A and B are shown apart, each in its own frame.
Chain A
Amino acid sequence: MSVSESSKLLDVRGLTVDIETEDGLFRAVDHVSFSIAAGETFGLVGESGCGKSVTSMSLARLIPCPPCSITSGEVLFCGRDLLKLPIEELRRIRGKEIGVIFQEPMTALSPLIRVGEQLAEVVHLHEKIDHKEALERARLWLDKVGIPDTRRCISAYPFELSGGMRQRVMIAMALILQPKLIIADEPTTALDVTIQAQILDLMREVKGPDAALLIITHDMGVIWEMCQKMAVMYASRIVETGSVKELFANPLHPYTQGLLRSIPSMNIGVERLPHISGQVPSLLKLPPGCAFAERCGIATEACKASVPQLADNKGHAVACFKTPR
């Protein structure tokens, strides 16, 4: 399934982000490339510290620079490179054309401003509209995201709402201007499963047929449920990417295979969980070769010597020397 150039809403090419820390400089995102078509849902999956959040936040340049610096790459959104846009122009795109749903709604919402005002602020920033109308629009969207008592919610402070309700407010805020691209960074990680089911259902429902959705998560189940395409990240690189159906049915990278195997299943008769031994290497001291070689059961000397590049095979790309090409 190849997406023609014109239908790509977002095209990330060779995005590289370095982060300066007290212990030295490390590469948090290393030549990451992927593209999302309009209406598509794309999942970026990986464990903590693999660079998935930094990737998503650098798309709209929401990462603090310094300590971060985007050293190379292009983020083409509707044909414009977001990394080169002047900041004023980028501000017109953020919120209006790219909406972001952050992981922790308690820290993402301002604790001092009432929910309605926060939502109205988004509208004011992008449209000339009087305050009453903006508030009415806010109320309408709170209703759309399934908040029962919208009149009360509008004048509530975020701390007065439950986690699920706060996440609904976040979603309303990201969607209120009906952006073309929605970036959701671990949108349900802080929530209970029954609430997670509600929120995922809601996101599918309110996204609209033309908007693209980028979901960042560590949960393979969420990816399966929500996305058409996905990429697996490990130690700041994409190690495997393709359609969700293909990747789950036929994972090629040993890391993806391990990840899928270590999901505890509900099947009877499982005595022990197959696990990936060892742990993610420190990004400050990455090995010269494949970052997964240390934990990989089939690694050879070649894997430890040089870094495998993503090799595409009919839309299913994998970065591993050991997979048949």
Chain B
Amino acid sequence: MPPLVSIDDIKVWFPIRKGVFNRVVGNVRAVDGVSLDIMPGETMGLVGESGCGKTTIGRAIIGLQPVTSGKILFEGEDISQFGHNERQRFCRSCQMVFQDPYSSLNPRMTVLDIITEAMVYHGLISSRERETKALELLAEVGMGRDALNRYPHEFSGGQRQRISIARALSLNPRFIVCDEPVSALDVSVQAQVINLLMDLREKHSLSYLFISHDLSVVRLISQRVAVMYLGHIVEIGKAEEVLEKPLHPYTQALLSAVPRPGKNVEERIILKGELPSPANPPTGCPFHPRCPYATDECRTALPAFVGTEHKCACYHFSKLA
């Protein structure tokens, strides 16, 4: 089966400009050579800490962020080569649910307008059908008629995220990028939204790219997981394998850092230092300055992926497994 979305060695660099002539003095390498395939019906989890480039990848896939180099293929077609009509069609099949339900909904539009705007724009429904269609979508996300003519500020975070999901579903997409959809929510509400996303996936045979910094949430919803660090994917594979038998030292540290009831604090791996600046990334393996196992080899050249299904970019992984 050909992949639904295929990312081939993409780089997204943001130029740093300085001085009167706005000369480019450097680049923030947000994404620095990432390849990834997402199969139809699959949920790919993308985890990493803030600033590792995971949101940039999500934005690049749906065409919100031009790439510096590399290709993104959707159903085998390069999305950067799309003309107007193809682009419109692509927009209908690719949607996004944003992180912050407080800023991603227009405060001056009613829920009815928010949900149906895209459908009206794409000419999928006439303005007379708006209300019925909006009600259908609201029912899908577990909300009722009373929401229709209210404004986003009248809803709680969880409900707003439901509205965002209804908006994303309105064009009947095949692929949704969920960018930290539950990070802003409380635990009890978080579980509701994750369950909703899983139900919708079944019902509409959707594929998700699920971006999150919360490993346990990703574990729950994804079939495969990719772990990012400083613009690179360092480990990728089946969710249970990556999260239960992590190979890369970064994944191991990340997993052990999550505080969890019943866990022994003594066994924790505490990383030294912080994420280096992507404007001035370290040579070789991006993780070497914080890695307890780093050797000279790690400092000089970027390690390649080892493995077939469960891949890991580390020189020392065989010793760590």
CB pair A266 B274 closer than 8 Å: no
Chain B count of residues within 8 A CB distance of the other chain: 44
Q: What is the count of residue pairs linking A and B with beta-carbon distances less than 8 angstroms? A: 114
> Which listed segment binds B: A105-113, A192-200, A206-214?
A192-200
* Cβ-based interface call for B192 (8 A): yes
What are 20 A-B contacts defined by CB distance under 8 Å?
A47-B187, A165-B274, A192-B49, A192-B50, A192-B275, A196-B259, A197-B256, A197-B257, A224-B259, A225-B263, A248-B262, A263-B187, A263-B261, A264-B191, A266-B243, A266-B255, A268-B244, A272-B195, A273-B195, A275-B192
- Chain A neighbourhood of B195, CB < 8 A: 272-273, 275
- Contact flags B121-158 to A (C-beta < 8 A → 1, else 0): 00000000000000000000000000000000000111
B window 241-257: CB within 8 A of A:
243-244, 253-257
- Chain A neighbourhood of B256, CB < 8 A: 197
Query: Which one of A197, A219, A279 contacts B158 once the chains associate, using CB atoms below 8 Å?
Result: A279
Query: Which one of A193, A196, A201, A224 contacts B262 once the chains associate, using CB atoms below 8 Å?
Result: A224
CB pair A262 B187 closer than 8 Å: yes
* Cβ-based interface call for A233 (8 A): no
Chain A count of residues within 8 A CB distance of the other chain: 41
* Cβ-based interface call for B304 (8 A): no
* Cβ-based interface call for B220 (8 A): yes
- Chain A neighbourhood of B316, CB < 8 A: none
A224 vs B104: C-alpha distance in the bound complex, in angstroms?
A: 34
- Chain A neighbourhood of B186, CB < 8 A: 47-48, 218, 280
A window 253-288: CB within 8 A of B:
258-260, 262-266, 268, 270, 272-277, 279-280
A218 vs B259: C-alpha distance in the bound complex, in angstroms?
A: 12
* Chain B residues engaging chain A, CB cutoff 8 angstroms: 49-50, 156-159, 186-192, 194-195, 198, 213-217, 219-220, 240, 243-244, 253-263, 265, 268, 270-271, 273-275
CB pair A265 B216 closer than 8 Å: yes
A166 vs B23: C-alpha distance in the bound complex, in angstroms?
A: 31
CB pair B261 A221 closer than 8 Å: yes
A147 vs B273: C-alpha distance in the bound complex, in angstroms?
A: 9
